[in-house]
């Protein structure tokens, strides 16, 4: 599929992703966290927002990684012209990721402060501007998928928050083991196809 065969309204997907992140962060995650985890409602404000934000970022990471894996597996046109070929799912995935980054930037400005905030703002602005330019010019979508695959590490980084310490959310031992086990299984389910993709594709290229 070439560039001119797929021209949906990507601002719609950016806005939709932004709204879905709002629902996750402000309604869905707090609701289920309150049901499943003890002392969630007693978290101090910074930890409360960090917990919600990390859950939302984990959901975003899983969605964009699965979409990128699908595109790399089944969209051969991305491999034939790595710089200029694109498709609907690839651009929609990038638009969704851009919407998440915009929401994350706004919530960080709203809820956090200090020197770390400046570095986060610079990072997010660079990513958002880059995403919009790529969506506008349909350039380098193949390499965008490799960039999005770096989100594979996000659930593992966020996993540290479910380990009880200090004022973090306290889970009983059985619940903690269940959460960690499910997270690890989920990550393996995502990572194995990625490894297979890399091996098969590079073998095909070099044979």
- The pLDDT-based confidence of 98 (bands split at 50, 70, 90) is very high
CB 127 within 8 A of CB 101: yes
Q: Is pLDDT of 207 > 80?
A: no
- Res. 165 pLDDT band, cuts 50 70 90: very low
Q: State the pLDDT at residue 4.
A: 43
| Residue 182 CB coordination number (10 Å) | 10
What is the Cα–Cα distance from 85 to 82, expressed in whole angstroms?
A: 6
pLDDT score for 186 = 61
Average pLDDT over residues 149-165: 71
Query: What pLDDT sits at residue 163?
Result: 55
Instruction: Tell me what pLDDT residue 22 has.
Output: 93
Average pLDDT over the chain, rounded to an integer = 77
Q: Are 148 and 98 in contact (CB under 8 A)?
A: no
Q: What are the DSSP E strand ranges found in 54-207?
A: none
Model's pTM, two decimal places? 0.77
């Amino acid at each position: 599929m070439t560039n001119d065969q797929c021209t949906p309204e990507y601002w719609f997907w950016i806005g939709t992703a932004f709204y879905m992140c709002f629902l996750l962060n402000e309604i869905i995650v707090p609701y289920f966290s309150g049901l499943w985890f003890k002392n969630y409602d007693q978290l101090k404000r910074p930890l409360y927002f960090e917990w919600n934000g990390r859950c939302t970022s984990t959901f975003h990471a899983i969605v964009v990684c699965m979409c990128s894996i699908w595109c790399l597996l089944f969209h051969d046109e991305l491999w034939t012209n790595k710089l200029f070929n694109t498709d609907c799912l690839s651009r929609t995935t990038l638009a969704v990721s851009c919407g998440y980054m915009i929401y994350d930037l706004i919530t960080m400005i709203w809820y956090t402060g200090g020197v770390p905030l400046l570095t986060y703002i610079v990072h997010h602005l660079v990513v958002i501007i880059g995403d919009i330019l790529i969506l506008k010019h349909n350039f380098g979508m193949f390499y965008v998928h490799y960039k999005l695959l770096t989100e594979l590490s996000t659930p593992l980084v966020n996993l540290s928050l479910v380990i009880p310490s200090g004022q973090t959310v306290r889970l009983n031992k059985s619940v903690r083991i269940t959460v960690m086990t499910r997270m690890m299984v989920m990550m393996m389910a995502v990572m194995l196809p990625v490894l297979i993709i890399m091996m098969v594709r590079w073998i095909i290229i070099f044979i």
